[in-house]
Structure 1
Amino acid sequence: MCADADPSGGRYRRRVPETETPNEALIRFDGVGMTYADGTVAVDHLDLDVAAHELLTLVGPSGSGKSTLLRMVNRLVEPTRGRVLLEGEDVARVDAARLRRGIGYVIQDVGLFPHRTVAQNVATVPGLLGWDRRRTRERVAELLTLVRLDPAVHGPRYPHELSGGQRQRVGVARALATHPKVMLMDEPFGAVDPEGRRSLQTEFRRIHDELGTTVVMVTHDIDEAVLLGDRVAVLSQGGRLEQLAPPAVVLSRPANPFVERFIGDARAVKLLRVARLARADVEPGRADRPVVVRVGEPLEAAFSALAASPEGVVGVVDDGGAAVGTLGPAGLHAALRRAVRTDEG
């Protein structure tokens, strides 16, 4: 999976054919493992490629080696065997400080400097790299705007003057400051309340769609993993890779009983949140209905719209608002069946 540049705006739009396997590895875990002195295995022998522009989520229970694997990329943890390659180069051969300055890193408690303003926090790495004041100021304003914070209002504030969600947004902006090719995120939204977390997830997905930064994200929440990931890596105790696939495939075809148990009940409901309405699911014609949905929206939105429609049929429009046709229960069922079949040749 590789996002394609949008010629109209220079931005990226993720395109995720559900059966596609990435073939341009920006990050490669080559037989990596981590065993502690007491014999505890944090990560078993693991091979995994992360494609350029991909958002890969690592999900699993406590003790499955998710954070250990993530920290191998920026050398906060050194593997006891195997190699981590970044653009084909063994990270063990790269100066650690230089490596980390080129990788964005976001953690659960953000780690903002309390004595520095929001603007100064975002400018941390540009300052280390010797950017001039004008370039830094413009980049800070650009990034705060990107994460939906007003530079004039929030830039002069200190971290304690922000909500938890706002601090997390600042953390994302700081991680993106120097246009990193890779961003590592370790439970980035875990400390935020449920409503704020959903908002942050939506915003981050928008940001990734626009920038195309390669992201590896750790989460313990399967709902978050399938909502955000282009692919999902499900790990079990000791860092064993149980399944690696697009979200719809993980939900519709769990690789084994462990993955099925980890996903839990209501897989069809989760699939509604992940699968999206396509033109092929729509009955062509006029869309003059009181309730309207858009092509590309999650099937969850279409399901809610159908439930609210007095006629049991909703109109469907494209991104520009032009009529595409109508959707009824049969079309929704067909859309779900299509999502379930995504892993069949």
Structure 2
Amino acid sequence: MPTENSNRAHIRFDEVGKEYPDGTVAVAGLDLDVAQHELLTLVGPSGSGKSTLLRMVNRLVEPTSGRVLVDGDDVAGVDEVRLRRGMGYVIQHVGLFPHRTVAENVATVPRLLRWDRRRTRDRVAELLSLVHLDPELHGPRYPHELSGGQRQRVGVARALATHPAIMLMDEPFGAVDPEGRRSLQTEFRRIHDDLGTTVLLVTHDIDEAVLLGDRVAVFSQGGNLEQLATPATLLSRPANAFVEGFIGEARAIKLLAVTELDRRHVEPAEAGGGPGAADGNGNERPTVRLGSSLEACFSVLAGASAGEVTVLDDGGAAVGRLTPASLHAALRGAVTANGS
């Protein structure tokens, strides 16, 4: 099993199945590897076994067949309490203790592990800052004094308290309004990139799945794995009619969000077309950076009065321009590159 501060965990579902006494099959003989540091999103309709699969990792649900292995060890042979204390677990409605302050909630597991006060206090402050909450301002508050998005941030901070190598997240942003949800998604992706924790994240929202996941696992009714792929491959080359139907008709639009702007998409700029240059109406021409999503580029381009934007590199130097034609070519290239 992974040790504290390792942030390294490989998960294997070895022909795992779960059948309930009434004959209902929640998971059907799943064979799946989750790599160290991977953020794997599990998506599918209700009844497709996503949450059941998640809970088998921390033994809230026991499989009826197969094994769940973490770094080669069968979790069935690990003490349940020790297993769960070594994993972060975030659910939709957070489950914060209402009678405890934010700081006390984040400190729950460190106190159970008998960390000393200074170490606990420092870790709480570090984590609240990580999720963009002010330790001095928000630490003394109670959950009812926070917004829904702030409570979810506290839930993430609490789950990260003891440097878990594995994070299990079940519809973690589902109870937050759309604007707050997108902000939380962006923040969590940043946190994951910084920490490298192995994450299993359950969602019913295909947009969230492709936005956050390194890979996406699509399940159908009865816990059948229909496709496992990168977001770009999933969107451009769905494996079958079920996956295509679940993704929906706007596959190309979704692909904008997971494709980055690179130099191949950039047209040469005319003289004087660098940062701060004006368009034909005397307005400063908007800019985008290499590495931005095509979705973000489309948003900026749609508001550009000259019908083009200046593209900058990481150092802020102009490398060319983006036009509707080159954006369309970039999207077509993304589809072609992934086999559609």
TM-score (normalised: structure 1): 0.90
- Give deviations 1:136-161, integer Å, cap 9, x for gaps: 10010000001010000000011111
Q: Report the 3-state secondary structure (helix = DSSP H, G, I; strand = E; otherwise coil) of the residue aligned with 1:283.
A: coil
Tell me what 1:148 maps to. 132
Tell me what 2:310 maps to. 315
Matches of 1:135 and 1:320 in 2, distance apart?
Answer: 39
Kindly state the Cα deviation for residue 344 of structure 1 after the two structures are TM-superposed. 4.3
Identity %: 76
Question: What is the root-mean-square deviation of aligned Cα atoms in Å?
Answer: 1.6
Matched, 1:117 2:101: yes
Match of 1:250 among 228, 234, 237: 234
C-alpha distance 342-134 of structure 1, shift in aligned 2 (>3 A): farther
- Give deviations 1:147-200, integer Å, cap 9, x for gaps: 010000000011111111110000000000011111000000111111111111
Q: Which moved more, 1:206-215 or 1:104-113?
A: 206-215
Tell me what 2:161 maps to. 177
Kindly state the Cα deviation for residue 343 of structure 1 after the two structures are TM-superposed. 3.1
Tell me what 1:330 maps to. 325
Kindly state the Cα deviation for residue 25 of structure 1 after the two structures are TM-superposed. 7.2
Q: In structure 1, what residue type is equivalent to 2:303?
A: A
Q: Which moved more, 1:54-63 or 1:190-199?
A: 190-199
Kindly state the Cα deviation for residue 279 of structure 1 after the two structures are TM-superposed. 2.1
Q: Which moved more, 1:108-117 or 1:58-67?
A: 108-117
Q: 1:198-213 alignment to 2 at 5 Å?
A: 198-213=182-197
Kindly state the Cα deviation for residue 201 of structure 1 after the two structures are TM-superposed. 0.9
Q: In structure 2, what residue type is equivalent to 1:80?
A: T
- Give deviations 1:94-153, integer Å, cap 9, x for gaps: 111111111000000101111111001000111111111111100100000010100000
Kindly state the Cα deviation for residue 283 of structure 1 after the two structures are TM-superposed. 2.6
Kindly state the Cα deviation for residue 319 of structure 1 after the two structures are TM-superposed. 2.7
- Give deviations 1:209-263, integer Å, cap 9, x for gaps: 1111111000001111111111100000000000000111111111000001101
Kindly state the Cα deviation for residue 314 of structure 1 after the two structures are TM-superposed. 1.1
Q: 1:62-73 alignment to 2 at 5 Å?
A: 62-73=46-57
- Give deviations 1:28-54, integer Å, cap 9, x for gaps: 101000000111100001111111111
Match of 1:196 among 180, 184, 191: 180
Is the 1:287–1:314 contact (alpha carbons within 8 Å) kept by the matching residues of 2?
A: no
Matched, 1:221 2:205: yes
Tell me what 1:61 maps to. 45
Match of 1:305 among 276, 300, 304: 300
Q: How many residues align?
A: 323
Greater C-alpha Rg: 2
Matches of 2:15 and 2:300 in 1, distance apart?
Answer: 47
Q: In structure 2, what residue type is equivalent to 1:303?
A: F
Matched, 1:275 2:270: no
Matches of 1:50 and 1:160 in 2, distance apart?
Answer: 36
Matches of 2:274 and 2:334 in 1, distance apart?
Answer: 24
Is the 1:30–1:83 contact (alpha carbons within 8 Å) kept by the matching residues of 2?
A: yes
Match of 1:292 among 287, 307, 315: 287
Is the 1:25–1:49 contact (alpha carbons within 8 Å) kept by the matching residues of 2?
A: no
Is the 1:54–1:212 contact (alpha carbons within 8 Å) kept by the matching residues of 2?
A: yes
Matches of 1:261 and 1:344 in 2, distance apart?
Answer: 18
C-alpha distance 25-128 of structure 1, shift in aligned 2 (>3 A): closer
Q: In structure 2, what residue type is equivalent to 1:134?
A: R
Q: 1:23-34 alignment to 2 at 5 Å?
A: 26-34=10-18
Is the 2:236–2:339 contact (alpha carbons within 8 Å) kept by the matching residues of 1?
A: no
Kindly state the Cα deviation for residue 284 of structure 1 after the two structures are TM-superposed. 4.7
Matched, 1:37 2:39: no
Matched, 1:90 2:74: yes
Matches of 2:86 and 2:136 in 1, distance apart?
Answer: 27
Q: In structure 1, what residue type is equivalent to 2:206?
A: I
- Give deviations 1:67-102, integer Å, cap 9, x for gaps: 000001101111000001101111111111111111
Q: In structure 2, what residue type is equivalent to 1:337?
A: R
